[in-house]
């Protein structure tokens, strides 16, 4: 993981880049709570290809025009219908996106595991939800925990600051974790994309 969060080109596979946002470092970050939206016409939805070859249509994306910093997030589900929720974690770009009924409703800058305790990649399902969870393995609270693996890897609330990492979990801002916990259910799909071979990690993270 680089010391400076990389520029984000949020492309949808074979489609052109739909949105560009740049992560800027800051000692403290303020969280956005809403954003405008890019709507795609019916019959012309871009698609995200999953690691197993399946494709997920995207009906709309959050239109984020300002820089996102460590600790920032955007959540906006106005006018979005109920439906299936799935989560996309892009480790190379250090970003998590939440989709419901094909619409992106949330996105956040994340923390993830270092080389010593890497975050696993692939397709997972939410195995367990617990709002007030404490890890006895690491002697640390993991609020709004969504467990992904039997050995304890989870998405949970964290103090997302530049220079920090996790023991394999995916850390998201606490207020974002609360919203995600409310939106997600057991069994929901979580896709974690691997680091690219050319992506260099800073050993201090």
Residue 105 pLDDT: 97
Strands 189-193 and 7-11, bridge-based pairing: unpaired
In this model, does residue 184 exceed pLDDT 70?
Answer: yes
Strand order in the sheet with 68-69: 7-11, 17-24, 68-69
Q: Which residues contact 34 (CB under 8 A, 6 or more apart)?
A: 74, 75, 76, 78
CA distances 17 to 72, 74, 157, 205, Å, are 22, 19, 29, 29
Rounded to two decimals, what is the model's pTM? 0.79
- pLDDT tens-digit series, residues 71-114: 999 999 999 999 999 999 999 999 999 999 999 999 999 999 98
Domains of the chain in sequence order: 7-193 (2.40.440.10)
Q: Is 8 left (phi over 0), alpha (psi -120 to 50) or beta?
A: beta
Q: Across the chain, what does the average pLDDT equal?
A: 81
Distance CA 169, CA 172 (A): 10
What's the confidence (pLDDT) of residue 26?
30
Which token pair is 93? 């770009």
Q: Are 56 and 102 in contact (CB under 8 A)?
A: yes
């Amino acid at each position: 993981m680089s010391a400076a969060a990389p520029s984000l080109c949020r492309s949808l596979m074979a489609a052109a880049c739909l949105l560009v946002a740049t992560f800027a470092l800051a000692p403290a970050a303020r969280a956005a709570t809403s954003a405008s939206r890019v709507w795609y016409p019916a019959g012309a939805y871009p698609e995200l290809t999953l690691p197993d070859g399946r494709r997920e249509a995207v009906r709309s994306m959050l239109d984020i025009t300002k820089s996102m910093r460590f600790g920032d997030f955007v959540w906006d589900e106005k006018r979005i219908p109920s439906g299936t929720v799935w989560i996309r974690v892009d480790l190379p770009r250090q970003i998590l996106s939440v989709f419901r009924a094909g619409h992106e409703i949330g996105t956040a800058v994340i923390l993830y595991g270092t080389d010593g305790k890497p975050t696993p990649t692939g397709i997972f399902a939410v195995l367990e939800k617990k709002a007030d969870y404490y890890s006895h393995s690491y002697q640390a609270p993991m609020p709004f925990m969504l467990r992904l693996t039997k050995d304890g890897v989870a998405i949970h609330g964290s103090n997302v600051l530049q220079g920090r990492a996790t023991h394999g979990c995916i850390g998201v801002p606490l207020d974002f974790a609360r919203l995600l916990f409310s939106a997600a259910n057991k069994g929901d799909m979580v896709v974690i994309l691997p680091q690219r071979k050319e992506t260099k990690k800073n050993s201090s993270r």
